[in-house]
Structure 1
Amino acid sequence: MSQDDALPSRLERGMEMLPALAALALHALAHERWLLCIPAAVVLATGLILGKQPRYSSPLLLISALGGGVVGFVLSGLWPVPAPIPPAFMGPLCGALVALTTLCALCGRRVYALTYALLLSSLSVTVRGGAPVYVGMAAVILSLLALAFFRGRIGQAGLTGGLSFGVFALVVLGVAFGLWRFVRASEGVLTDTVFRMMSSMSPSSGLALQSEIPLERQGSMPDTDLLLLELRGDEVQRLRTSVFDVFNGTRWMTSPPLEQTRLTLPKPAPGEAQRTTELTLQQSLRNQLPAPAGTYSVEGVEVRVVGGWTLRAEGRSGTTLTLRSSAREQLPPEPPPTELLTSLPPALKEELAPLAEQLTRGATTSRARAEALEAWFRDNYEYSLSVDLRGEGSPLAVLIREKRAAWCTYFASAMAALLRAQGIPARLAGGFVPQEKNPYSDAFLVRSRDAHAWVEVYLEEEGRFVPFDPTPWRSREALMAQKAPGQLGAAWQAFTSAFRRGLARLWNSPSEALSGVASSPVTWLLVLAGLAWRLLARYRRGRVSQARAALRGESPALAAAYARYLRAMKRGAGLIPSPTETDEELLHRLRTTRGDRAGSLAEAFLTRYRQARYGGAPVDGASLGGLTAELERHLRQER
């Protein structure tokens, strides 16, 4: 086939591969599966450039699906992606689809490749949105349009057919965009329901990352250990992500004015003790950035400060940030809040006011009343991942009167409602409390189960919101201690974390990463260990060759020359003699595969070797070495 004849075939194959490549790009952008999608794209591009098309078979399809599933499962352990589908199932499924899409596109099975590519695209957009993902979605649609024009009948239908398909593509893109917007807009209700149904992410994570928190009479909180953050450096007490200022008796919400307020990071007071904490995102937390109160500097990402002194930033998985904050974790001063932070439904206020008065009897200041309620909840309640508040009155009244077990959201809600019933401004704050420390990496691990809620009370005498935590920590810590990973799990987590950090560093700053690797003592120890191993292996081979030569009555120089000759045949021509193969048979194979020139050089070596070995001629190591070196050069040039 001439080059001109091959060009249309390659062009057609390239057009057939476009949807697969676009689907791989979309999946890499949405799930950050670059280690999976880039090699798959390279395989497709290599097959296209070389004009290779493997033969399609069912066993190959099965092997690809299994292999892709295994790789997807491993990557899910390193980079789990929270989604409506559990990560343990989502990772292998997407990995298998990547492998199947790549194989079918490479083998020219266009219909199968399109089917798998569209399935992969639909799963990819269920995780996150953003401009890069929208571009990936548009690339998938445009690739389908291009393929339809080049390979289908739309191109023959003229302008009308092209416009019709274009409208169809825009409708598909619009529906996908609309669904994504609907899911994000409904995250306070719909996402919470999906999380509970699928158990892929506990409602405790929703507490930290959602804008609405419902209080139910009966339910349970699935406990997951999805790793979200890693902290290094100075220890922090709490990481704030959300502030809820509106309470209707059964649901906490963030008011639009609070979310739309724009603030600036405070400045540290002169002489104030400071903390420096390195925070690594193991998951993309949408636009919320967990940070301690009193944070005045964030390096590594552009941040926005909204009402309640919570931070917003678009942080990708693997991003490492440096936070500098006040050691006291104290919120900045601000004007007194509006009546919104003392409002309660009339029926709830009437129900809780006598209880609040009873529990704070003797306290005369806002701080004293908050401290009394905090101590009362801590001393009289048990922490639990299930709640049953069925009974007479509101759920919070049942919780307070009957001292039933619950989790942090209920304790904080009850305390805030009791304070509001006394006219004290109070709000709910959500975030994380770091507790688990990896003994190998010396890093604090923040998991989804570490999400927490507490109360922030405005104290007029201080002119700021002050945190109070009514959760009974003794029972919570006892419960969490049962879920602590063992030594093997901690070692594996430290390894995967170091691996991810290294890849992220290599991706963001290759020169800095390579410089760090080159200057690391571990690198030099590995290099020295490798050199020592090679030298030891060569020494052992030499001793073995000398021993064998002595047994055969052969000089060590001849044995070394013959060993080098065999290595040249193996490395240069891929020829390894079988146990029963003679030198002549091996020489014949060399002539057949590499030509007469290589055969002549090998024959010259064997002639001189035999003269010295069997004919009594003096051993000329330099001559034998020269022939072997010339044979090696010739075989390298003929590759």
Structure 2
Amino acid sequence: DAQSWTPMEIWPNQPFRETIFAPFGLTALQVPFDQVTIDLHGILETEDLPVGRPYMTWSSIASETAAVPLDGFDPHSLGGNIVKSPLQDEQLWQLLTALPADFDPRVQELAERVAGRDATDGEKIAAVQRYFLENYQYQVGITIAAGADPLTYFLLEKRAAHCEYFATGAAMLLRAVGVPCRYVTGFVAAERNRHGGYWLARNRDAHAWVEAYDRDRGWVLVEATPAAGVPQSQSSALADQVWDAWRARWQRAVAAIRQGGVQAILVAMGGWIQAPWLWSVLLLLAAVWLVRRLVHRWIGASSVAIDPQVAQLQRWLYRMDQRWRRAGITRATNETPHQFADRLLSISTEADHLQAAQWYRHYAAVRYGGQIELRSVLEMPNVAPRRKTSYGVTDPPKSRK
């Protein structure tokens, strides 16, 4: 029933290559370009995703829980959202229950202990999610023992890790007990701009979770990451919300002008002159200007400097990325250090790749692990992978095809 579909207008303000982000339970899509491809998992891609141009999505989601209040957000309430869409494709069913050829039998035994005795898909899903939330801790980065399979080590040793490990681990345990599921990455939009009336998804809101198929209910969101690792509800200061809302309105105006030309400019100007918020913004800007002028006159100008430790870490990351780009392996703009480390190891397990993977994981732990200590920043060059020749330090070797 199209009347029950929930509309969502999405405004991307940075490029994400070919990926089109869409909500859970997507039923319809309206985009400002001609060609869209969709795979077996419902992943949408295009060769031309313009920045600053909106697109519309419609989703059909049934919720078993009460509506989430705007001033509070429980990430684990996502498990109450379901999509009543039958999984009838036999090829997709086999794909979503497949396990790696080298799947460790100890992990299979773990899955049986956790959820093997449960009768229904819903009980198995709940048991797996409860197992991770009650027995594991969240932290950015994980140290894997030498020679160990990362996921097997995480599951059996109950090591603290980040969301990618929890989502992958949950998917493997669910598949091991016969529940079709898939690993998903995206953003959790938990920040609402009350002044502008919209939700924001920032880079820090990137997350990984699982979509599992319950034969009694349909597709279900599974959040196995502890609450400390899930983007939380938060609200910016009023001044920040007003400024961000102004930027959003400007972005909308520019998009309308590009589409409608001179007529759109006149319509936008007329709407701005009559809008009460415009005068509020102008008064606010005038007040800010006056306060800044008084501060400069009486106290002297002041500026907020960028944290030098963060800046140094960013320089180290840029240099490492440059080295591997010259070696023929480029880290994507939306690829986390942990994801790039995993990709390096999937290409080769030689010393250069192993050391580089360790470096990227160490960088993530230092950069996103809380307060950045000067000692950790100074240690970064010491763990950088390099090889020496008679001419000095060189870049990583070219990857073998």
TM-score (norm 2): 0.56
Counting only pairs closer than 5 Å after superposition, residues 133-532 of structure 1 correspond to structure 2 as: 269=1, 273-301=4-32, 302=34, 303-313=36-46, 314-328=48-62, 330=83, 332-335=85-88, 336=90, 337-360=92-115, 362-390=117-145, 393-462=148-217, 464-477=218-231, 486-510=237-261, 511-520=263-272, 522=274
Q: In the superposition, relative to structure 1, how do residues 500 and 392 fare at CA in structure 2: closer, same or farther (>3 Å)?
A: same
| Offset at residue 432 of structure 1 (A) | 1.7
Query: Which AA in structure 2 matches 1:441?
Result: G
Which residue in 2 is equivalent to 1:112? none
Mapped contact 2:107–2:156 kept (Cα < 8 A): no
Counting only pairs closer than 5 Å after superposition, residues 14-29 of structure 1 correspond to structure 2 as: none
CA distance in 2, matches of 1:476, 1:366: 24
More helix by percentage: 1
| Offset at residue 428 of structure 1 (A) | 1.0
Measured against aligned partners, the alpha-carbon deviations of 1:233-285 in whole angstroms (never above 9, x if no partner) come to: xxxxxxxxxxxxxxxxxxxxxxxxxxxxxxxxxxxx37x63212111111222
Query: Which AA in structure 1 matches 2:132?
Result: F
Q: In the superposition, relative to structure 1, how do residues 298 and 512 fare at CA in structure 2: closer, same or farther (>3 Å)?
A: farther
| Offset at residue 325 of structure 1 (A) | 1.8
Measured against aligned partners, the alpha-carbon deviations of 1:537-580 in whole angstroms (never above 9, x if no partner) come to: xxxxxxxxxxxxxxxxxxxxxxxxxxxxxxxxxxxxxxxxxxxx
| Offset at residue 433 of structure 1 (A) | 1.4
CA distance in 2, matches of 1:469, 1:485: 25
CA RMSD of aligned residues (A): 3.1
CA distance in 2, matches of 1:316, 1:491: 26
SS across alignment from 1:315: coil
CA distance in 1, matches of 2:199, 2:225: 21
SS across alignment from 1:470: coil
| Offset at residue 456 of structure 1 (A) | 2.2
CA distance in 2, matches of 1:433, 1:445: 9
CA distance in 1, matches of 2:276, 2:130: 56
Measured against aligned partners, the alpha-carbon deviations of 1:52-72 in whole angstroms (never above 9, x if no partner) come to: xxxxxxxxxxxxxxxxxxxxx
CA distance in 2, matches of 1:469, 1:375: 10
| Offset at residue 372 of structure 1 (A) | 0.6
Query: Which AA in structure 1 matches 2:7?
Result: T
Mapped contact 1:344–1:417 kept (Cα < 8 A): yes
SS across alignment from 2:250: helix
Mapped contact 1:331–1:466 kept (Cα < 8 A): no
CA distance in 2, matches of 1:474, 1:343: 30
Query: Which AA in structure 2 matches 1:515?
Result: V
Mapped contact 2:24–2:61 kept (Cα < 8 A): no
SS across alignment from 1:386: coil
Mapped contact 2:188–2:231 kept (Cα < 8 A): no
Which residue in 2 is equivalent to 1:129? none
Mapped contact 1:389–1:404 kept (Cα < 8 A): no
CA distance in 2, matches of 1:387, 1:523: 52
SS across alignment from 2:186: strand
SS across alignment from 1:348: coil
| Offset at residue 307 of structure 1 (A) | 1.8
Q: In the superposition, relative to structure 1, how do residues 425 and 476 fare at CA in structure 2: closer, same or farther (>3 Å)?
A: closer
Mapped contact 2:29–2:56 kept (Cα < 8 A): yes
Unaligned runs of 5+ in 2: 63-81, 283-401
Counting only pairs closer than 5 Å after superposition, residues 77-92 of structure 1 correspond to structure 2 as: none
SS across alignment from 2:95: helix
Query: Which AA in structure 2 matches 1:284?
Result: P
SS across alignment from 1:281: coil
Larger Rg over CA atoms:
1
Mapped contact 2:163–2:229 kept (Cα < 8 A): no
| Offset at residue 475 of structure 1 (A) | 5.0
| Offset at residue 504 of structure 1 (A) | 2.1
Q: In the superposition, relative to structure 1, how do residues 342 and 523 fare at CA in structure 2: closer, same or farther (>3 Å)?
A: closer
TM-score (norm 1): 0.36
CA distance in 2, matches of 1:525, 1:458: 46
Q: In the superposition, relative to structure 1, how do residues 323 and 477 fare at CA in structure 2: closer, same or farther (>3 Å)?
A: closer
Query: Which AA in structure 1 matches 2:6?
Result: R
| Offset at residue 494 of structure 1 (A) | 2.6
Mapped contact 2:87–2:93 kept (Cα < 8 A): no
| Offset at residue 309 of structure 1 (A) | 1.8
| Offset at residue 408 of structure 1 (A) | 1.4
Q: In the superposition, relative to structure 1, how do residues 365 and 450 fare at CA in structure 2: closer, same or farther (>3 Å)?
A: same
Unaligned runs of 5+ in 1: 1-268, 531-639
Query: Which AA in structure 2 matches 1:384?
Result: Q
Mapped contact 1:387–1:406 kept (Cα < 8 A): yes
Q: In the superposition, relative to structure 1, how do residues 297 and 525 fare at CA in structure 2: closer, same or farther (>3 Å)?
A: closer
